[in-house]
Structure 1
Amino acid sequence: MARWTAAEIPELSGRNAVVTGGGEGVGFHTALELARHGARVVLAGRDRGKGEAAASRIRAETGGASAEWRRLDLGDLASIDRFAADCAAAYDGLDLLVNNAGVMALPRQTTADGFERQFGVNHLGHFALTGRLLPELLARPGARVVTVTSGLHRSGRMDFDDLMGERRYGRFSAYTQSKLANVLFALELHRRATAAGTDLVSAIAHPGVARTNLARTGEPLRGLLVTLAKLPAQSAAAGALPSLYAAAAPGVGGGDFFGPDGFAERRGHPVRVRPAARALDRDAARRLWEASEALTGVRFSAFDRGGVRP
Structure 2
Amino acid sequence: MKDKTVIITGANSGMGLASSAELARQGAYVIMACRNKERGQQALEQAKQISGSNRLELAICDLQSLDSVREFAAWFKERYPVLDVLLNNAGIMSLKRQITPHGFEAHMGINHLGHFLLTSLLMEPLKAAEQGRIVNVSSGAYKIGKIHYEDITLERGYNAAKAYAQSKLANILFTKELARRLASTQVTANCLHPGAVATSIGVDRATGFGKSVMAMLRPFFLTPEQGAATAIYLATSEEVAEQSGQYFYKKKPQRLSARADDPEQARKLWVWSEQQVGYKVPL
TM-score (norm 2): 0.93
Aligned to 2:235: 247
Secondary structure class of the residue paired with 1:277: coil
Alignment equivalent of 2:195, drawn from 199, 208, 227: 208
Q: Write the distance in 2 (CA, Å) between the matches of 1:15 and 1:288.
A: 31
Q: Does 1:172 align with 2:154?
A: no
1:104 aligns with 2:87: no
Amino acid across the alignment from 1:69: L
Distance, in Å, in 1 between the alignment partners of 2:213 and 2:254 is 27
Structure-2 residue corresponding to 1:187: 176
C-alpha contact (below 8 Å) 2:25/2:53 kept by paired residues:
no
- Gap change, CA 1:134 and 1:106, over 3 Å in 2: farther
Deviation of the 1:155 alpha carbon: 1.2
Is 2:26 the partner of 1:45? no
Structure 2, unpaired ranges of 5+: none
1:85-164 map, 5 Å: 85-164=74-153
Q: Which residue of 1 aligns with 2:225?
A: 237
Can you give the 5+ residue segments of structure 1 that lack an aligned partner in the other structure?
1-11, 261-269, 304-310
Q: Residue 56 and residue 297 in structure 1: after superposition, are their counterparts in 2 closer, same or farther (change >3 A)?
A: same
Alpha-carbon displacement from aligned partner over 1:132-161 (angstroms, at most 9, x marks no partner) = 111111111210000001111111111111
Give 3-state SS (helix, strand or coil) of 1:147's partner. strand
Partner residue, 2:21: 32
Tell me the amino acid that sits aligned with residue 292 of structure 1.
S
Is the Cα contact below 8 Å between 1:95 and 1:143 reproduced in 2? Answer: yes
Which moved further from structure 2: 210-219 or 135-144? 210-219
Q: Answer with 225-234 or 272-281: which moved more.
A: 225-234
2:234 counterpart of 1:271: no
Alignment partner, residue 4 of structure 1: none
2:244 aligned with 1:257: no
Query: 1:257: how far off?
Result: 2.1
Q: Counterparts of 1:236 and 1:274 in 2: how far apart (Å)?
A: 24
Deviation at 1:230, TM superposition (A): 5.1
Structure 2 vs 1, CA of residues 45 and 189 (structure 1 numbering), >3 Å: closer, same or farther? same
Contact 2:198 2:214 in 1 (8 A): no
Q: Distance in 1 between matches of 2:200 and 2:63?
A: 18
Aligned partner (choices 56, 59, 62) of residue 73 of structure 1: 62
Deviation at 1:228, TM superposition (A): 5.5
Q: CA RMSD in A?
A: 1.7
1:18–1:98: 8 Å Cα contact kept in structure 2? Answer: yes
**Structure 1 position 238, deviation (Å):** 0.3
* Cross-structure match for 1:22: 11
The answer on whether the counterparts of 1:209 and 1:230 sit within 8 Å (CA) in structure 2 is no
- Flag the 1:44–1:219 CA change in 2: closer, same or farther, 3 A: closer
Identity %: 36
- Asked if the contact 2:82–2:129 (Cα under 8 Å) also holds between the matched residues in 1, the reply is yes
Is it true that 1:297 corresponds to 2:281 in the alignment?
no
TM (norm. structure 1) is 0.85
